[in-house]
Amino acid sequence: MKVETLTTGDGGPVDFGSFVEYNQETKEARIKRVALTSPEIFDMEMRYIFEGNWIYLCHEDQVPEVGDFFTTTMGRQPVVVIRNKAGKVNGFLNACSHKGTTLCRTQQGNKASGFACSYHDWCFDLDGNLEYMPRMDEGFPEDKNLANHNLTKIAKVESHGGFIFGSLNPEVSSLREHLGDITEIIDMLNDQSEEGFEVVRGTNTCVYHGNWKLLIENGGGDGLHLPSVHKTLIKVVQMRDEELNKGKTKAAKMVRVDELNDKDTVGATYAMQNGHTLIQSDLPNPEDRPAYAQHETFVERHGKERARWMTSKVRQVAIYPNLFIMDQLASLIRYVRPISVDRTEVSYWCIAPKGESRELRVKRMRQFMDFFSIAGLGGPDDNHEFEQCQVGAHAAAAPWSDASFGLHTEFTGSDPHANEVGVHDAKFGGPVGWEGGSVRQYQHWIKMMQAGQKREMSMNR
Amino acid sequence: MTDKTALQVEVEQFIYREAAMVDQSRWQEWLEMYTEDMTYWAPSWVNENELTSDPETEVSIVYMNNRKELEHRIWRFTSGESPASYPLPRTNHLVSNVAITDASGDQVTASSNWMSQTYRDKEQRLFGGYYQHILTRQEDGAFKISHKKVVLLNDVVDSFVDVYHL
C-alpha cells in the first residue's frame, strides 16, 4: 500500500477510522499495517499523541533533591524535568529562550543554583524565570521586562505514586482522570514499602528497528507470544531450576514462565480507558519473588485479596502511550521513546522498595537481569520479532494484521476479579491471550488521531 | 626471556585464544576456559562517566556467578530457537593493550582493550570497551578464567547484545 492512499489525494484528512475493522458478528478484527510504516502518520502521532496529551516523563526518585534534573523528549521536543526550590517538579523545553541552545546536556544532574546557558550566559531560576544576562542594561535599555524571555514550561506536569507525567498541551484532563483505576495498580506497587520505591542504579537502554506501537501492543496484551518467542527462556528456567536443586548454581530462582498460563490459573487482560491495558495472572511460584516475604503483613494491612494481587500475581500495565509498570518476572519501569517511524528506544529501570534487605535485593536484581537486560534472556527475542514485524509490514500487498484471537471470549462491563481490588474501569476484557487489548488500543489511537487531525484542521482553516 | 615476559606472553596468548574460541564458534572449548565457580560481569552505566559497582545489588548488562549459567546461555544462543540469535552473527574480536595489573600466588589479573566487529542481516555493528580477566592457574598448570569483567562503552545499543558480541 502506498502512503498516498492514506489521504484523499488533495491533502485532505486521513481516514483513521478505516485502520481497524472489527466484525462483531464473526468476531474478527484486523489492523492496517501501514500505521507502522508511514512517516506521515508518525509525524501526526508525534503532534497528536506525544506532543498533544499526557505522556510519562520520569520517576520522582530520578529527581529526588532540589535542582535535580532529568532530560528526555516529548515527541520530538527536548525537555528537562527539574525539582524547584519548593520541592515541586517542573518541566521545561530544554532550549534556551535566546537561541534555543540546550540547557541540560546530561541524562541526569543537578542545577540547584539555576540554569545557566553556556552559549551566552543567560541564567534562569528553577521556575524558568530569566534572572540575568550579561550586559543586560546595554542590550535591553527599554525593556526590563525579563518575563518575556522566560523558559517555556511543559504545560502540565503532575505525578501519581512517584510516576511523573507531562503534557505539552494544556487542554487535557487531570492526570488522575487520565489514569483512571490504573492508580490502583500503581498503589499496589507502592504499598509494598512504607518508604516508597526507588529506581535502582544503572540503566539498560536499546533501540530496536521498529515502530513504537509494536512494543506497546506486545506488552499491552499479547499473551500469546510467550511459549513461542520465549521458548529458550522457558527452557533455561527449567534448566536453572534443575541445577539449583542440585546445588550447581547460585543464581536466583526465576518465575516459572513455563507454568504461567496453565489452564487452572486465574488471569485476564483488560482494556481500560484512554488506551491503557492491564494484564493480571497468578504467579506459579510467588514464594520465589521478593515481595512474597511480606505477604502476611500485606494481608493484615490491605486484606487478603489485595495482598494476593500484590505478592502473587503478575501485574503489568501499559499506560498509553509510553510507559509500562511491570511487577511480574521482575519489578520495573519500561519506558518507550519513539525516535522515528522505524526506530524506538526502550529503557528498562529496575524499581525496588527503599530499605529492602540485601538478600531480597540480590534476588530482585537477578530476576530483573535474567529477562529485561539488553542482554537478557527475554527482551532481545522480543526486539528481534518487532524488527521482523517492521520488515513484514512493508509487504503492502497483504495490508492487514490479524487481531481476532479469543474475541468470542470478550466480556464487557466489568470483571469481578478486577473489582476485588478497586479496578472498575476495565470495560473490556478476556482471558490471557485475548487480542481485544490490541484492538482497543488501536481504537483509542484512532480516537486520538482523529481528534488531533480535527483540531489541526480547524486551526489551519 | 625473563619470567615476567614469559608470563606476559602466556596471558596474552590465553586472552587471544578466548577471543578465537568465540569467533570460531568453538563454544565447548570456550566454556572450558572458565572455572566452575567463575563470575562474568558486564556492568551498566549509571551516568555519562560512571559504571555500576555492585553486580549483586545494582543493574548490570550481564551477571553470571556460575559456569552453569554460561552453559545455559550458550545452549540458548546456539539452539536456533532464540530469534535474536538465529542466525548467529559472524564476529571478529580484536584484543590489545594487554597489561598484567597484579600477579600473586596462583592468580593473575590482566586488563585489556577490545573491539568486536559483527556482521549479520547485511549490517555491520561495532562494539568496544575493556576487559579485566582474573586467571587462576589450575593443577595441570594451565590458566582458567575465574572472573571476567567486560565494560561496553555504549549505554545505548542497537537492538540487543549477547556475550558473543562482548
Inter-chain residue contact B60 with A369, CB threshold 8 Å: yes
- With CA atoms as reference, the chain B residue closest to A251 would be B65
User: Which of A200, A232, A369 lies at the smallest CB-CB distance from B81?
Assistant: A232
Nearest CA-CA partner of B73 in A249, A261, A426: A249
Task: Please provide the average confidence, as pLDDT, over all residues in chain A.
Answer: 92
Look at the block and give the residue holding cell 476495565: A426
Q: Quick one: cell of A259?
A: 507454568
- With CA atoms as reference, the chain B residue closest to A228 would be B81
Contacts of B34 (CB under 8 A, 6+ apart): B40, B67, B70, B144, B145, B146, B148
- Over the stretch A140-182, which tens digit does the pLDDT of each residue have? 877 667 778 999 999 999 999 999 999 999 999 999 999 999 9
Mean pLDDT value across residues A448-455 = 95
Own/partner long-range contacts of B8-11 (Cβ < 8 Å, ≥24 apart): B8/B98, B8/B100, B10/B143, B11/B98, B11/B100, B11/B108, B11/B110, B11/B133, B11/B135, B11/B143
Nearest CA-CA partner of A222 in A376, A394, A49, A382: A382
Q: Quick one: cell of A456?
A: 489541526
Contacts of A307 (CB under 8 A, 6+ apart): A295, A298, A299, A301
What's the half-sphere exposure (Cβ side, CA atoms, 13 Å) at A152? Answer: 17
Higher pLDDT, A259 or A184: A184
Mutate to test the interface with A, among B35, B72, B81, B152 (most CBs of A within 10 A): B72
Q: What is the end-to-end Cα distance of chain A in Å, rounded? A: 30
Q: Is the pLDDT at A1 greater than 50, yes or no?
A: no
Share of chain A above pLDDT 90, in %: 81
Q: What is the pLDDT of residue A146?
A: 76
Contacts of A246 (CB under 8 A, 6+ apart): none
Mutate to test the interface with A, among B160, B162, B164 (most CBs of A within 10 A): B160
**With bands split at pLDDT 50, 70 and 90, how would you rate the model's confidence at A11?**
low
Mean pLDDT value across residues A120-148 = 87
Task: Please provide the average confidence, as pLDDT, over all residues in chain B.
Answer: 97
Alpha carbon distance A93, B65 (integer Å): 44
Inter-chain residue contact A384 with B62, CB threshold 8 Å: no
DSSP 3-state of B91: strand
Q: Is the pLDDT at A8 greater than 50, yes or no?
A: no
**A-B contacts at Cβ under 8 angstroms:** 140
- With CA atoms as reference, the chain A residue closest to B42 would be A375
Q: Is the pLDDT at A427 greater than 90, yes or no?
A: no
* Topology of the domain covering A55-159: Rieske Iron-sulfur Protein (2.102.10)
| Residue numbers in A near B159 (CB within 8 A) | 206-209, 380, 383-384, 387
- Over the stretch A179-231, which tens digit does the pLDDT of each residue have? 999 999 999 999 999 999 999 999 999 999 999 999 999 998 898 999 899 99
**With bands split at pLDDT 50, 70 and 90, how would you rate the model's confidence at A253?**
confident
Domains observed in chain B = 3-152 (3.10.450.50)
Inter-chain residue contact B159 with A206, CB threshold 8 Å: yes
Mutate to test the interface with B, among A361, A374, A385 (most CBs of B within 10 A): A374
Task: Kindly report the nearest CA distance between residue B120 and chain A, in angstroms.
Answer: 13
Q: What is the pLDDT of residue A5?
A: 43
Inter-chain residue contact A106 with B47, CB threshold 8 Å: yes
Q: Which CATH number among 3.40.190.80, 3.40.50.1000, 3.30.365.10, 3.90.380.10 corresponds to the domain A181-452?
A: 3.90.380.10
DSSP 3-state of A234: helix
Torsions phi, psi for B91 (to 5 deg): -130, 155
Q: What is the pLDDT of residue A3?
A: 39
Q: What is the pLDDT of residue A223?
A: 87
Higher pLDDT, A252 or A211: A211
If you ran DSSP here, which 8-state letter would residue B45 be given?
B
Inter-chain residue contact A201 with B46, CB threshold 8 Å: yes
DSSP 3-state of A121: coil
Does residue A115 contact residue A148 with C-beta atoms inside 8 Å?
Answer: no
Touching check for A369 and chain B: CB below 8 Å?
yes
Cβ under 8 Å to B: A residues 210-239: 229, 231-233, 235-236, 239
Touching check for A144 and chain B: CB below 8 Å?
no
Compute CA distances B31 → A111, A357, A455, B44, B145, whole Å.
Answer: 48, 34, 61, 24, 10
- Over the stretch B22-61, which tens digit does the pLDDT of each residue have? 999 999 999 999 999 999 999 999 999 999 999 999 999 9
Q: Is the pLDDT at B165 greater than 60, yes or no?
A: yes
User: Which of B58, B68, B157 lies at the smallest CB-CB distance from A243?
Assistant: B68
Inter-chain residue contact A249 with B68, CB threshold 8 Å: yes
| Residue numbers in A near B162 (CB within 8 A) | 375, 380
Q: What is the pLDDT of residue A9?
A: 43
Task: Kindly report the nearest CA distance between residue A361 and chain B, in angstroms.
Answer: 6
- Over the stretch A386-408, which tens digit does the pLDDT of each residue have? 999 999 999 999 999 999 999 99
User: Which of A108, A109, A365 lies at the smallest CB-CB distance from B56?
Assistant: A365
Inter-chain residue contact A207 with B161, CB threshold 8 Å: no
What's the half-sphere exposure (Cβ side, CA atoms, 13 Å) at B49? Answer: 2
**With bands split at pLDDT 50, 70 and 90, how would you rate the model's confidence at A2?**
very low
What's the half-sphere exposure (Cβ side, CA atoms, 13 Å) at A292? Answer: 16
Higher pLDDT, A148 or B154: B154
Pairing mode of beta strands A68-74, A77-83: antiparallel
Mean pLDDT value across residues A359-382 = 94
**With bands split at pLDDT 50, 70 and 90, how would you rate the model's confidence at B74?**
very high
Inter-chain residue contact B162 with A107, CB threshold 8 Å: no
Instruction: Name the packing angle between helices A212-221 and A379-392 (round to 10°).
Output: 130
Q: What is the pLDDT of residue A417?
A: 87
Ranges A88-92, A239-243, B14-18, B73-77: which has the least confidence: A239-243
- Over the stretch B11-24, which tens digit does the pLDDT of each residue have? 999 999 999 999 99
Q: What is the pLDDT of residue A6?
A: 52
Mean pLDDT value across residues A262-290 = 89
Task: Kindly report the nearest CA distance between residue A313 and chain B, in angstroms.
Answer: 24
Task: Kindly report the nearest CA distance between residue A391 and chain B, in angstroms.
Answer: 12
Touching check for A335 and chain B: CB below 8 Å?
no
Alpha carbon distance A441, A425 (integer Å): 15
Domain-wise residue ranges, chain A: 55-159, 181-452
Mean pLDDT value across residues A341-363 = 96
Q: What is the pLDDT of residue A263?
A: 64
Q: What is the pLDDT of residue A143?
A: 67
Q: Is the pLDDT at A42 greater than 50, yes or no?
A: yes
Mean pLDDT value across residues A2-9 = 43
Alpha carbon distance A10, A2 (integer Å): 15
Q: Is the pLDDT at B92 greater than 80, yes or no?
A: yes
DSSP 3-state of A89: strand
- Over the stretch A299-325, which tens digit does the pLDDT of each residue have? 999 999 999 999 999 999 999 999 999
Inter-chain residue contact B44 with A203, CB threshold 8 Å: yes
- With CA atoms as reference, the chain B residue closest to A239 would be B72
